[in-house]
Structure 1
Amino acid sequence: MKKTWHHQDIIEKFEANRNEELAGPMAAYMKGHFPFLGIKSPLRKQLLKEHFTEYTSPEPEQLFEEVWKLYNLPEREYQYAAIALIEKMKKHLTLGDFPVLLEFIETKSWWDSVDSIAPHFVGQLVKMDREYGEKIMLEWSQSDNMWTDRSAILHQLKFKQQTDTELLFMIIKQHADSKEFFIQKAIGWALREYAKTNSDIVTNFVEGNSLKPLSKREALKHFV
């Protein structure tokens, strides 16, 4: 029988595997934005797999309360664990969860957390109701927060044939002149990923619009 969920058990597992020698280089890789425990990705995923096997999941109505208990801890591995918990229970996400996902995006923001939350969880919600999701994404795309803008650009990253190209191109054009590195990269990444499904429409879009060199280079790098 599985044990009852408690976030403290994850903390104990992670603390038992703290590695100060690895923590410094890992923090440096993230430009010093976050402290690290020094648990590399393969071990972290193994520890979480063991935990999810050994313990029950939280009740759906307690999901985000439990996620925040991990996400608010200082070390970056706890944000990864929090995101893994959402992934484990993503079938319980609803359209009402856009605001809390936005809060995660705008809290302890960096590319690693945003690029997990936007394509996987935000994209899932948009697919539930495309009309409502488009409205929310257009609101996000006009945010003063760069990471929220990036999320709007990337939310269809895994949609393939289900991509709403009109929405994708509309949001990209809103940010085509951005000087932000992470916005330029997101534009290129979103276009490059969709090019795997429809290279012609991406090529035509890139050729017909004024994009920053980085965005254009990223968009076309694998098929030109």
Structure 2
Amino acid sequence: MDQSTVADRVEQVKQVFMEAASPEEAKQLKKYFRVAPGQYGEGDVFLGIRMPKIRSFMKDFKDLTLDDLDLLVKNPNHEIRVFSLLMMCEKYKKGSKEEKEEIGELYLKNKEYVNNWDLVDCSAHIVLEHRIKKDDPLLDELSKSQSMWDRRIAMLATFCKIKKGDFEPAINVALTLLGDKQDLIHKAVGWMLREVGKRDVALLKAFLEEHIDEMHNVTFRYATEKLSSSEISKLKKKKQKL
């Protein structure tokens, strides 16, 4: 690391993003991420930079510190927050046990800025992996939070375990969130259940049959996306009888 200060390095990142900004793209992204009053992304600010471009900047800032990322994740510009979270993920993947714990704590300290679905989805399943264990209350706390984004973090964080064949965390969080009122939670629960089903279809079917009466239609649709039409029809008939 050179002798530049945290403020210098953060300013360098911000300058790169400002130079890449596109007002036309920003208009499209604002619509896509629902930033109008009353929508889930209300008030978020976009520069108009797509994900591939954001990722391309990462190679030029490999030496950013956690102090740098702590400032960047608080930035009002959505794309800079994305960048900070992606950098946390890269550091986490290469970090020691102690470094992973430090990154996880940094993430949780700043989770109020992880406040749109793409921010959650690109990060939660990576930087919280060390916290997804039976004796850790984190998932329970997040899944019962008043914050929709905390609840989505809880659901998406289980993806790391799903990929390794451990479905219990996802099933437990899904059970907690089945009665949620928010569409983005319905989708997250259905998505993670679908991922479970890709690896254990019998478990998915058993879960659906047992809890179909508690499940929002969006969750059901997402969860059954990979099932055959006949399997879906059979489950729908069961739901209609309830």
Interval of TM-score (by shorter of Structure 1 and Structure 2)? 0.7 to 0.9
Q: Distance in 1 between matches of 2:166 and 2:51?
A: 33
CA offset digits 1:2-58 (Å, max 9, x no partner): 756622221121122222222222222211232211222222222222x13xx5342
1:40 corresponds to: 50
Q: By how many angstroms is 1:106 displaced?
A: 2.4
Structure-1-length-normalised TM-score: 0.83
Count of aligned pairs: 211
The separation in 2 between residues aligned to 1:85 and 1:4, in whole angstroms, is 20
| Unmatched 5+ stretches in structure 2 | 36-40, 229-242
Which 10-residue stretch deviates more, 90-99 or 184-193?
Answer: 90-99
- Which portions of structure 1, spanning 4 or more consecutive aligned residues, are displaced by more than 3 angstroms? 2-5, 91-100, 160-167
- Equivalences for 1:11-160 in 2 at 5 Å? 11-32=14-35, 33=41, 34-49=44-59, 51-52=60-61, 56-58=63-65, 63=66, 65-90=67-92, 91-92=94-95, 93-95=99-101, 98-107=104-113, 109-122=115-128, 124-126=129-131, 130-133=133-136, 135-160=137-162
Query: Which one of 223, 227, 240 corresponds to residue 219 of structure 1?
Result: 223
Please identify, of 3-12 and 29-38, the stretch whose mean Cα deviation from structure 2 is larger. 3-12
Distance 2:190 2:14 in 1: 37
Residues 196, 158 of structure 1: CA spacing in aligned structure 2 closer, same or farther, 3 A cutoff?
farther
TM-score, normalised to structure 2, is: 0.77
- Of 33-42 and 179-188, the range deviating more from structure 2: 33-42
Greater alpha carbon shift after TM alignment, 108-117 vs 88-97: 88-97
Percent identical across equivalent pairs?
22
Partner AA of 1:132 in structure 2: D
Distance 2:73 2:79 in 1: 9
Q: What value does the CA root-mean-square deviation take over the aligned residues?
A: 2.3
Q: Show structure 1 runs of 5+ residues with no match.
A: none
Q: Secondary structure at the match of 2:159?
A: coil
